[in-house]
Amino acid sequence: MPIQVILVPAGAEYQAVMRGLKAVPHAPPVVAVPAGPAAFRAFLETWEDRSRFEDQGILLIGLGGSLSPQHSVGDGLLLEQVWDASAGDGAKGYPCDRTLTDELAQRLGVSVERGVTCDRVITTVAEKGRLGNRYQAAVVDMESAVLLEAMPQAKVAILRVISDDCSHDLPDISGAIGPDGKLRADTLARSFLKRPVAALKFISGSLQALKTLEQITLVLFQQ
């Protein structure tokens, strides 16, 4: 497997990937990175091992939100191109490494789609619909375009597992990830209390997606 390093958001996603690799004897190193574009960009600028992986195979893996009714909670997707929505009208699309992406898609039996990166969690059905239509994208995340822009020489593949679909609003958790990329537990708790039914659905979807993330990681790297 031509992947020299795995990048995954710190916290539950990192823990799921590590559980998946527990039975893999020669797995590549796994690096926990901060969530969100600003914190991730700052991490990449100061990452000590960046020069070592500048032209290597990098897998960015984690959860994402569905922008398409074709993809529901627990589905795994590989990305062929990611748009940076934070640039507004000047949005630019960044390609992933086609050879590596196709190899992983064949191994996992998942579809290859277009993605979009935003600077906050997208919580409403209406906004997901607008994003999906504008960028012809199937999944939204907060890190992918940052990596592709920062390390253009690297052979990057991006794998996302859907944790929330496009037919239900989430609790307003847009402020739950701080500028440092860390989860603000008190903000999250308050937003959950305001929308308890939506919160339960979101938690259930996240747990299902994390289980899939663990299984996909094992399948990808087991001999």
Quick check: 115 and 82 in contact, CB under 8 A? yes
Residue 202: per-residue pLDDT: 73
Number of domains in the chain: 1
202 by DSSP, 3-state: which?
Answer: helix
> What is this structure's pTM?
0.89
How large is the average pLDDT for residues 154-169?
93
For 56-115, the pLDDT digits (tens) are 999 999 999 999 999 999 999 999 999 999 766 667 899 999 999 999 999 999 999 999
For 20-32, the pLDDT digits (tens) are 999 898 899 999 9
- Helix extents (H) in 70-165: 98-108, 125-135, 144-150
Give the CATH number, domain containing residue 109: 3.40.50.1580
Q: Which residue has 């934070």 as its token pair?
A: 86
Residue 123: per-residue pLDDT: 83
Residue 121: per-residue pLDDT: 83
In sequence order, the 6+-apart residues with CB closer than 8 A to the CB of 92 are 83, 84, 149
Amino acid identity, position 197: V
- The residue range of the domain holding 214 is 5-221
